[in-house]
Amino acid sequence: MSASEAERSIMVRLRGLAQAPSATAARSELARIAPRPVLSEPGDVSATCDSFLERAKANGFSAEAVAGRSEAVHAVAAYISARQNHRRFVAGHDARLAAMPWRDAGLLPRFGVATAEDQIAVSYARCAIAETGSVGLWADRDNPALNNLLCDAQIILVNAGDVRQSLNGLWEEREFSEAAGGPRGIMMVSGPSSTADIGMQLVLGAHGPRAVHIILLEGRA
């Protein structure tokens, strides 16, 4: 059977089994039996950030909160200095990363996509999730997905104003089409890459970063 014949025959059968007479009727039924939850509930930003940092650390991230961009740059420099003897790292073309005062801390960013030779990547998350201690990273022209995967270590910056309480907050921006300027994907990262496939022993750095450092920018001057 060709792909189109398979599609036709499977869909004909499934249409015969469908309970609702139309897609609109199915959607109305869904809204009745499982109303769409509120995506972001208003809450105490400081408490939400504390909760995010606590859970992020429990997930195996290292994490710190800083007042603003200048402090963030120095925090990045301190982390990089502790891991390697040069001050180079790779970062995407995200405008927020481009606007950071890297030179103030003597850092040398290369803007682009990570390669297997890069040791540390710095990324800027679109949001963070307090419920799970995760960060939401868009995969788009300014934020290459490989920057979250190929390096030995990753530093992820996130604004306190972008910390959302629950997983549902990940979906505040719901449009993924290219026409609407949406990302081609989202990576929700909740800890360093890990595996327990050998002897059920947890080992970090299975394929992705062995260490991930979160810097929460509180937005104070």
Partner 1 sequence: MEQLSRDFLARADQALAEPERAANREALGVLMPELRRAAIGALGGRKAFEKLREELRVVREHSLANLAHYLDEFMEQARKNGSEVHFAASAQELNERVIELCRRAEARRVAKGKSMITEETGLNAALEAEGFAVCETDLGEYIIQKAGETPSHIVGPALHKPESEIRDLFLAEHDLGERELAGAPEMVAEAREVLREQFLAADVGIIGSNALIAEQGLSMLVTNEGNGDLCANLPRTLIICTSIDRVLPRAVDAMTMLRLLVRSTTGQAVSCYTSFYGGPRRDGDLDGPLEVHFVLLDNGRSDILDSDYREMLQCVRCGACLNHCPVYMSAGGHAYGWVYPGPMGSVLTPLLTSLEEAAPLPDACTACGRCEEVCPGAIPLPDLLRDLRSEKFAAGITPQRWRFGMRVHAWLCERPRLYQLFASLAVGLLHRFGRRRGVISRWPMAGGWLTARELPVPAAGRTFMAMQRSARASRGSREANQ
Q: What part of residues 78-97 is at the interface with partner 1 (CB under 8 A)?
A: 92-93
Instruction: Report the residue number, 35 or 221, with the smaller CB distance to partner 1.
Output: 35
Instruction: Report the residue number, 11 or 67, with the smaller CB distance to partner 1.
Output: 11
Q: How far apart are the first and last CA of the chain?
A: 65
- 180-219 positions binding partner 1, by CB under 8 A: 182-201, 203, 205-208
Answer whether 210's CB lies under 8 Å from 152's CB. Answer: yes
- 2-61 positions binding partner 1, by CB under 8 A: 3, 6-7, 9-11, 13-15, 17-20, 22-23, 26-27, 29-30, 33-34, 36-37, 39, 55, 59
165 binds partner 1 (CB under 8 A): no
Beta strands (DSSP E) in the chain are 62-66, 88-91, 108-111, 120-124, 127-129, 134-139, 153-159, 163-164, 185-189, 194-195, 203-204, 211-217
Answer whether 192's CB lies under 8 Å from 40's CB. Answer: no
CA 138 to chain CA mean position, Å: 6
Question: Which member of 88, 178, 219, 220 binds partner 1 (CB under 8 A)?
Answer: 178
Q: What is the DSSP letter of 148?
A: G
Question: Closest approach of Cβ 57 to partner 1, in Å?
Answer: 13
Instruction: Report the residue number, 99 or 200, with the smaller CB distance to partner 1.
Output: 200
Q: For residue 164, which phi and psi values (nearest 5 degrees)?
A: -110, 150
Question: Closest approach of Cβ 77 to partner 1, in Å?
Answer: 25
Question: Closest approach of Cβ 47 to partner 1, in Å?
Answer: 18
Instruction: Report the residue number, 46 or 195, with the smaller CB distance to partner 1.
Output: 195
What tokens appear for 46 in the block?
Answer: 């400081």
User: Comparing C-alpha atoms, which of 67, 106, 61, 86 is closest to residue 209?
Assistant: 61
**Cα radius of gyration rounded to whole Å, the chain:** 21
Question: Closest approach of Cβ 112 to partner 1, in Å?
Answer: 6
- 107-146 positions binding partner 1, by CB under 8 A: 112-113, 116, 132-134, 139-141, 144-146
Q: Is 201 helix (H, G, I), strand (E, B) or coil?
A: coil
